[in-house]
Chain A
Amino acid sequence: MTLNRRTFLGTAAAAGAALSAPMVKAQGTPRVVVIGGGAGGATAARYIAKDSKGAIDVTLIEPTRSYYTCFFSNLYLGGFKEMDELGHSYGGLAAGGVNVVHDWATGVDRDAKTVALAGGGRVPYDKLILSPGIDFVDGAVQGWDMSAQNAMPHAYKAGSQTELLKAQLMAMPEGGTFAMVAPPNPYRCPPGPYERVSMVAHYLKNNNPTAKIIVADPKGKFSKMALFQEGWNNHYAGMIDWIGSDFGGDVVEVDPAAMTVSIDGEVTKVDVCNVIPAMKAGMIAHAAGVTDGNWAPVNAADMSSKADADIHVLGDASQQGDMPKSGFSANSQAKVCANAVRGALTGSKVFPARFSNTCWSLIDTNDGVKVGATYEATEEKIAKVDGFISSTGETAEVREATYIESEGWYAGITADMFGAKA
């Protein structure tokens, strides 16, 4: 019965597209439910509510009342930002007509088209947008699981974990050792671990200059590698020991009780250990049954799930092709999705998908670098069109301008996600 209903809607949508006047609006106001209030979900909810002008009922389900951006959280570790500056409320979205529900989504009934909430009750949808971000793969780092996250924080979801890592960094003994276990591809924010190393080094240079940083990396190379390595040599000579897969960085075991890290069999006692495990799509994407392995495959044209035409998946959780998993990417994908969802539900004009991304990183005070690209939708995936990256050896003026630009981007994207700050 439900299968027939889905088939019917699919056919109606296809017929509508052929007539280029889709109008699959059911009885009453069509309902969009968005799960996850980060760069993908908040943007999608805001744009659908703003552009539909009341023609679509938009509900955002997000457990936290204050959202702390993962982007720029490394700058908090380095002392360039306060935690308060990274926190954003959902008041602007509510004022913009989004029904904000602070609860956990625990399951999706795709036949009934409802989302189950931890607090009880079900929320019906015509279109569901999943933007749950990441969770960690169990057993990815030997010796570490979520019960060890206080001894060895991941700090890869911003907030209390980031504060914990900062407190541990500040409590390091003179000449102590900070270890990081970096993640394998693909993961959220490709330059993130290396910007973090830079920010930790910046803090230590000023407060604990004989301390050391060890990075065990399962990869042989990483995002903006030449830029970071140049910066580490320039600013933090002798402090950072990066051990890539060629030197056993992929053979790692940690002992959170003993505070030791074993890299290729060599055991080191450390004072802080930041374990960033392998990642997968957030829980609800798996619960909804739209994942294939760790991630949720999507169609590039509208970010719809390959498993269910009425579910869209945005940001880190999606498997879309060439775009890095970043807040910028999620925000870009959200606008393409919002335009397509609005068109499907109200018949508004749907424009072709186009995507872009830029990732800024801070290496030291006023030493900013960036990498970015434009993307298009192909049948197969989101495909890169053209890109750029900062050069090694740039002048201090260029690097400072890049950092100032990143500050502007932070203000811009958070206004774009949450509405202008009250």
Chain B
Amino acid sequence: MRLACAIVLALTPFGALAEDYTEDEIVEIANDYGLDAAPLMLGGDPDYGAYLAGECTTCHQTSGSYDGIPVITGWDALFFKIAMHEYRAKQRENPVMQTIAARLGDEEIASLAAYFATLEE
């Protein structure tokens, strides 16, 4: 499934909604997390995500190795977006991530999610 997702993203550089969820499912999940559903439905540009990811890869390893900072490669794009929106809303702890997320727009979060979903875990 992850591979399929990567292929779809590779074929659609501006990230059409390459998700495995229906809109209704996303609305339901968004409610569970106390988040607005619309930003979670956005597709992202993996090229822009690759550039933005430079801000992540100082700490998070693209190899998927863990040495004290969580692995973020190969995540389902929807749950990547949820995590970032939670940090931005300060619903998730960690001042580094809250500060990084604070200046990311909805499309930037979607682009990061699209990019990291393409990396093998």
Interface set of A (CB-CB < 8 Å, partner B): 47, 51, 328, 331-332, 335-336, 339, 349, 351, 354, 356, 358, 370, 372-374, 385-388, 404-413, 415-416, 420
Of B62, B66, B99, the residue contacting A408 (CB under 8 A) is: B66
In the bound assembly, the distance between CA atoms of A372 and B102 in angstroms comes to 13
**Extra 12 A-B pairs, beta carbons < 8 Å, given A51-B50, A410-B67, A416-B57:** A328-B58, A349-B47, A351-B52, A374-B99, A405-B68, A407-B67, A409-B59, A411-B61, A412-B58, A412-B61, A412-B67, A420-B61
B48 at the interface (CB under 8 A from A): yes
Question: A409: which B residues are within 8 A, CB to CB?
Answer: 58-59, 68-69
Contact between chains at B68 and A354 (CB < 8 Å):
no
- The residue among A373, A407, A411 with the most chain B CB atoms within 10 A of its own CB is A411
Contact between chains at A332 and B68 (CB < 8 Å):
no
Closest to A328 in B: B58
In the bound assembly, the distance between CA atoms of A138 and B51 in angstroms comes to 40
B100 at the interface (CB under 8 A from A): yes
Closest to A416 in B: B57
In the bound assembly, the distance between CA atoms of A409 and B58 in angstroms comes to 7
Question: B63: which A residues are within 8 A, CB to CB?
Answer: 415, 420
In the bound assembly, the distance between CA atoms of A217 and B29 in angstroms comes to 55
Contact between chains at A374 and B102 (CB < 8 Å):
yes
Question: A331: which B residues are within 8 A, CB to CB?
Answer: 58
Question: B57: which A residues are within 8 A, CB to CB?
Answer: 412, 416
Contact between chains at A351 and B100 (CB < 8 Å):
no
Question: B66: which A residues are within 8 A, CB to CB?
Answer: 408
Contact between chains at A415 and B95 (CB < 8 Å):
no
Question: A370: which B residues are within 8 A, CB to CB?
Answer: 95-96
What's the least CB distance linking A224 to chain B, in Å?
14
Nearest first, the 10 A-B pairs at minimum CB distance are: A408-B68, A408-B69, A411-B67, A335-B54, A388-B95, A407-B68, A412-B59, A404-B68, A351-B51, A420-B63
**B 54-90 to A, binary, CB cutoff 8 A, 1 in contact else 0:** 1101111111011111000000000000000000000
Of B50, B65, B67, B100, the residue contacting A356 (CB under 8 A) is: B100
- The residue among B50, B65, B98 with the most chain A CB atoms within 10 A of its own CB is B65
- The residue among A51, A331, A354, A410 with the most chain B CB atoms within 10 A of its own CB is A354
What's the least CB distance linking B117 to chain A, in Å?
19
A420-B58 in contact given A351-B51, A388-B95 (Cβ < 8 Å): no
In the bound assembly, the distance between CA atoms of A102 and B24 in angstroms comes to 59
A373-B99 in contact given A354-B55, A408-B67 (Cβ < 8 Å): yes
What's the least CB distance linking A51 to chain B, in Å?
8
Question: B102: which A residues are within 8 A, CB to CB?
Answer: 374, 386
Contact between chains at A406 and B68 (CB < 8 Å):
yes
In the bound assembly, the distance between CA atoms of A374 and B59 in angstroms comes to 15
In the bound assembly, the distance between CA atoms of A345 and B33 in angstroms comes to 45
